[in-house]
Amino acid sequence: MCAAGSIQFGMGILEEILEGKCDEVARLRDPARLDATARALAAASPPRDFAGAVRRADQRLAVIAEIKRRSPSKGPLALDLDVAALAKSYEAGGAAALSVLTDERWFGGSKADLTAARAATDLPILRKDFVIDAAQVDETRALGADAILLVARALRGDLLAGLHARAISLGLAALVEVHDETEVERALAVGATLIGVNSRDLRTFAEDLSTAERLVTLIPSDVICVAESAVRGVGDAERMAQAGCDAVLVGEALVRSVDPESLVRALGAARRSPRR
């Protein structure tokens, strides 16, 4: 097991995913790979402003549009999607940013998907994966991502704090994902300025938007709140906007849509209410 003592177990599918990430980390820590990452980091272009993109001045809800091929709970969603074409469609629809799954085993994604999306648009890009080691943070910036996802439930406080600090030092925005009140407290304690509330239970995969409605009230107004999961249409986006969320991250509904550009535009038309 990698990062001994840092991973919280006993959570079913999440445990299995994290065990697999240990193998990835071992490969990343090969000296030749570390050298290659260091060279790519030195040559990386400046990060795009992810936080600025998702905090809209006009009070409209920001849409983080996701490129997602499959999910552990739903299976294949859009295995043959054209990353560049979809990214351009999202941008044309007014997406504030992109989220790209790079996990291969469970989500069918790849690092190539991220680089293709970045080349196709000017939008800032969130790398969505399960990060448990600093080598993955370095790799994320080296790949050209502008933001990284840190899942609080997968990381104990010391590791969450360390990975968050590493990301910030590299110029990455760090979206800390939470699922309950305790995790909100932990995210705020490490200085998170971007918090994603996931309305999907990682143990059962059940979805409930009331989770986001409940937790957003604990997030200060100067911290960006992103509603993750369970947003299927305009009504759900409006519900999250009325709850005070700054943005929604939407994947499944968009990759399954026959007109993702129009759906992004419709989702982003919701007006945000002041944070309660």
Catalytic site residue from 91, 228, 252, 261: 228
Q: Is 261 noted as a catalytic residue in this protein?
A: no
Q: Which one from 24, 66, 183, 252 is the annotated catalytic residue? A: 66
- Does residue 24 have an active-site annotation? no
In which element (H, E) is residue 97 found? strand 97-101
Residue 181 designated active-site: no
- Classify 253 as helix, strand or coil: helix
Residue 22 CB contacts under 8 Å (≥ 6 apart), including other chains = 1, 2, 3, 132
Catalytic residue among 21, 24, 68, 111: 68
Query: Token pair for residue 137?
Result: 């943070």
Q: Dihedral (C-alpha) 123, 131, 213, 90: value to the nearest 10 degrees?
A: 20
Residue among 111, 128, 199, 213 flagged as catalytic: 128
Q: Give 269: exposed, middle or buried? Use CB within 10 Å, 0-12, 13-18, 19+.
A: middle
Rounded Cα distance between 179 and 104, Å, is 24
Q: Using an 8 Å Cβ cutoff, are 250 and 227 in contact?
A: no
Q: Which one of 24, 71, 229, 252 is the catalytic residue?
A: 229
Q: Check if 228 is active-site.
A: yes
177 is catalytic: yes
1: its two tokens: 């097991």
Looking up tokens 């604990």 gives 218
Which residue intervals of 93-156 are DSSP H helices?
Answer: 111-120, 134-142
In the residue annotation, 68 being an active-site residue is answered as yes
Known catalytic membership, residue 88:
no
Annotated active-site residue in 71, 89, 198, 199 = 198
C-alpha separations of 267 from 93, 197, 250 in Å: 10, 18, 9
Select which of 139, 177, 183, 252 is catalytic: 177
Supply the residues annotated as catalytic.
Answer: 66, 68, 128, 177, 198, 228-229
